[in-house]
Amino acid sequence: MNRRSLIASGLATLGASACASTGTNGGYNGADPGVGQEQRSIETYTVGEIKQQTSDFLGVAAETVGQVVERVFRDQGEPTAYIAGEEGSGAVVAGVRYGRGLMYMKDRPEMEVFWQGPTIGFDWGGNASRVFTLCYNLHYPDMIFRRYPGVDGSAYLIGGVGVNYQRADGITLAPIRTGVGLRLGASIGYLSYSRERNAFPF
């Protein structure tokens, strides 16, 4: 009788330990739950929000810019951030581009960013323009600070509004420009984003 009691007690203790272990780690697949929760909690911008913001900032009819925005949404989905800014550029085949703007993410304060970089293309001259950049897979603001090469074959032009993609470390940027600010021939190159303005573009 004592032996049976000891066995029953041991089994009960073992079962309780197993339940406690399952309650602590249940569903855990080896990934960092904090990282997963952070990525899932990032709010994105809808196509309607971006159409309105882009049209207002660039001063272009919503119908015109809407076609480009819809193209980007079909390719990339909903952005986690966007940058509204201005840039100047010049080229004689080879050139440079400088810009500054404010980056917006939902539930986070706006942040000033700068960008600069060399360009190579079949174009020449100089211009100053506004640029509205959609940001994808950007989970916190400081992730923007790196160098983004242009993606070959990604330049689109619809109704005087153009966009090309830049990509680095899983992050994709889609700068939207209008009119003379396009210089799509200069989409071969890269842009480096920084916290402060840098005179040296490389």
> Judging by beta carbons within 10 Å of its beta carbon (0-12, 13-18, 19+), is residue 193 exposed, middle or buried?
buried
Residues 48-104 pLDDT 10s: 999 999 999 988 888 888 999 999 999 999 999 999 999 876 655 567 788 999 999
The CB-side HSE value for 20 (13 A sphere, CA atoms) comes to: 6
Label residue 202 by pLDDT band (50, 70, 90).
low
CB 76 within 8 A of CB 174: yes
Token pair recorded at residue 24: 């602590």
Residues 159-199 pLDDT 10s: 788 888 999 999 999 999 886 556 655 556 788 999 988 76
Count of beta carbons in the 10 Å neighbourhood of residue 6: 10
153/40 Cα distance (integer angstroms) = 31
- The pLDDT assigned to 46 comes to 96
5-9, 60-64, 77-81, 145-149: least confidently modelled range: 5-9
SS3 109: coil
CB 100 within 8 A of CB 86: yes
Computed over its alpha carbons, how large is the radius of gyration of the chain? 25
The pLDDT of residue 112 is above 90: yes
pTM of the predicted protein model:
0.73
Helix (H) or strand (E) holding 130: strand 111-136
Residue listed under structure tokens 């913001």: 53
Q: Degrees (nearest 5) of the Cα angle 131, 134, 136?
A: 155
Token pair recorded at residue 46: 């809808």
Task: Report how far apart, in Å, the C-alpha atoms of 122 and of each of 31, 93, 109 are.
Answer: 47, 5, 39
